[in-house]
Amino acid sequence: MVNAETLRAKLLAWYDAGARDLAWRVGPADNRAGVRADPYRVWLSEVMLQQTTVPHATPYFLKFTARWPTVMDLAAEEDGEVMAAWAGLGYYARARNLLACARAVARDHGGVFPNSEEGLRALPGLGPYTAAAVSAIAFDRPTNVVDGNVERVMSRLFAIEEALPDGKTELKRLAGALVRDERPGDWAQALMDLGATVCRPKSPLCDRCPVSEFCAGLAGGEPETYPRKAAKVARPHRNGVAYILTRGHEVALIRRPPKGLLGGMLALPTSDWRAIGWDDQEALAAAPVGADWRAVGEVEHVFTHFSLTLRLLRADGDADGFIWTPRAGLDALPSVFLKAARAGLSNLL
């Protein structure tokens, strides 16, 4: 039986002694002295960290906060500038939600984030996890902050056999039972640190774990096998053609429609993406302009919900209706198109 108060005390003491130094974090000593993290920075970091590692997100966070130090600065920026700065972080719907949320904070709240979970939750594009995290970390409110790391820690501590995703409700309940009014922001971050650095997905470092004496998963001998997972559904595969039209040192780009996958982003023109492959005739018929198209290879890309093979066709030409972009400017493309452009232009660069 886990003694919640002792477990909390041990984990918080561990956090006090070795909290990760993160660009957006106020350390535990400062936090105890009443210094609070800037809600804008906490919110921005949490949005960036969804599906992205700390080392990958940190340079983006530093770039964003140097360029847009406050939510008002971000809210006033043009969509294209923010989208371009986001390129490489993936999941572009998040960048669109980021802007919608920043503008709502600027317009409806005078640039000040609401200080309650409910108030945060009412902002556009700000989900329950982010609302709980900002509320705990920036406002020191006792909210239940549960992401994949916390689910993993709970599933191991309590040896929960119910497989994900059904088991999420119980894991959330267990995490909630450990939240107290005392130091809720530090508690949330201590759990995050434990999941990220010690209770790691593949090989947990149980001999360094401050709460190992309470861990039912470790006592059972196979802590790394938690959380249990339901059998995986195969990710569907799609096929498409990307067209690389060059005019001297420029490449023809388009802006994708605002809604849908990679909405509003700069892109190479492509065919539809479909389950069956594209033969040569179909690929030529779907080209955005008539030109002397040549096959120059293909690239693979994996999105969250499907994988994609893009055949690459390249031609020299000129036409209206494109965003002609110097090759040096292609870095602002989302990863899939940057990969396609680099592969398709490789023997020209």
Residue among 317, 339, 335 at smallest CA distance from 251: 317
Closer residue to ligand SF4 (CB): 206 or 343: 206
> 235 near 226, Cβ under 8 Å?
no
CA distances from 20 to 38, 187, 205, 287 (A): 17, 13, 16, 50
46 is catalytic: yes
> 323 near 255, Cβ under 8 Å?
yes
Residue 149 Cβ, how far from ligand SF4 at the closest point, in Å? 10
CA distances from 8 to 29, 158, 187, 332 (A): 17, 15, 8, 44
Q: Which residues pair with 242 in a beta bridge?
A: 270, 312
For residue 331, what is the DSSP state? G
Q: Does 150 bind ligand SF4 (CB under 6 A)?
A: no
Burial 126-162 (b: 16+ CB within 10 A, else e): beebbbbbbbbbbbbbbbbbbbebbbbbbbbbbbbee
Question: Of 49-57, 71-79, 88-96, 204-212, which part binds ligand SF4 (CB under 6 A)?
Answer: 204-212
Q: Does 227 bind ligand SF4 (CB under 6 A)?
A: no
Among 157, 179, 296, 336, binds ligand SF4 (CB under 6 A): 157
Among 209, 251, 308, 336, binds ligand SF4 (CB under 6 A): 209
Among 37, 101, 134, 198, binds ligand SF4 (CB under 6 A): 198
Closer residue to ligand SF4 (CB): 157 or 179: 157
286 burial via Cβ count (<10 Å: 0-12, 13-18, 19+) = middle
Among 218, 241, 266, 312, binds ligand SF4 (CB under 6 A): 218
Among 149, 212, 246, 270, binds ligand SF4 (CB under 6 A): 212
Q: 30-59 mask for ligand SF4 (x: CB under 6 A)?
A: ------------------------------
Closer residue to ligand SF4 (CB): 153 or 244: 153
Q: Does 199 bind ligand SF4 (CB under 6 A)?
A: yes
Q: Does 217 bind ligand SF4 (CB under 6 A)?
A: yes
- CA dist 28 and 111 (Å) reads 26
Task: Enter the tokens of residue 86.
Answer: 């986001």
**Which residues make up the interface to ligand SF4 (CB under 6 A)?**
153, 156-157, 198-199, 204, 206, 209, 211-212, 215, 217-218, 223
Q: Active-site residue numbers?
A: 46
